[in-house]
Amino acid sequence: MENKEIRIWNTRYLADTLGETPTTLLAEKLDKGSSSQISQLLGLTPTKGIGHTMARSIEKEFDLPKGWLDQIHFELWKQIKYPAWKVAFSKIYNYKKTGSSNHAVAEQDIGPHQIPKRRKDDKITPLSTNEKKRWTDTLSELNNIQRTTLWDGICAMAEANKKKHNE
């Protein structure tokens, strides 16, 4: 797991402890003005990373020791309640204990070739060869969080569509 991912998950956890609107509350705590800057750091598809200066600033605001944000805290991440982050975390990471050190290790669940197959009762128009190629290329460029988020959205739309037709 890369350091930037560790910082994101640790900061998501800290933001989550603030209340029901974590990005807004964290923006206020860090004196960042709007939650959009925090969303760029902590959203499901972050567009900015948490640099060294920002990481130390967050640690200071939460009275944490220097370097805390750079350490893996799986047990805390599992406590996240904010729905989007909770779903993303539970879909992507499995936990296992390693040796006597008892450290949790993340294992990627979903690879580009492991997109769930459609069920027999799904009515989907088959894609042309060109459309399949475009989708395959696009999906291979997404990271696991983005792929999972996309799949969750597709499933939610399919479920809403199914409910609409059953009414």
Identify each DSSP E strand in 16-136 by its residue range. Answer: 93-94, 97-98, 103-104, 107-108
- pLDDT tens, position by position, 153-167: 777 777 777 777 776
Between CA 38 and CA 47 the distance in angstroms is 10
How does pLDDT run across 4-60, given as a tens digit for each residue? 889 999 999 999 999 988 989 999 998 876 778 888 888 888 888 999 999 999 999
Query: What does the pLDDT read at residue 68?
Result: 94
Query: CB neighbours of 96 closer than 8 A, spacing ≥ 6?
Result: 104, 105, 107
Residue 127, both tokens: 């894609």
pLDDT for the residue 136: 72
Tell me the average pLDDT across 67-79.
90
- pLDDT tens, 83-112? 888 888 877 664 433 333 333 333 333 333
Cβ atoms within 10 A of the Cβ of 87, count? 15
Q: Which of 74, 72, 59 is nearest to 29 (CA)?
A: 59
What is the C-alpha separation between 154 and 160, in angstroms, rounded?
10
Do the beta carbons of residue 90 and residue 152 sit within 8 Å? Answer: no
State how far the Cα of 47 lies from the Cα of 25, in Å rounded to an integer: 20
Whole-angstrom Cα distance, residue 91 to residue 70?
22
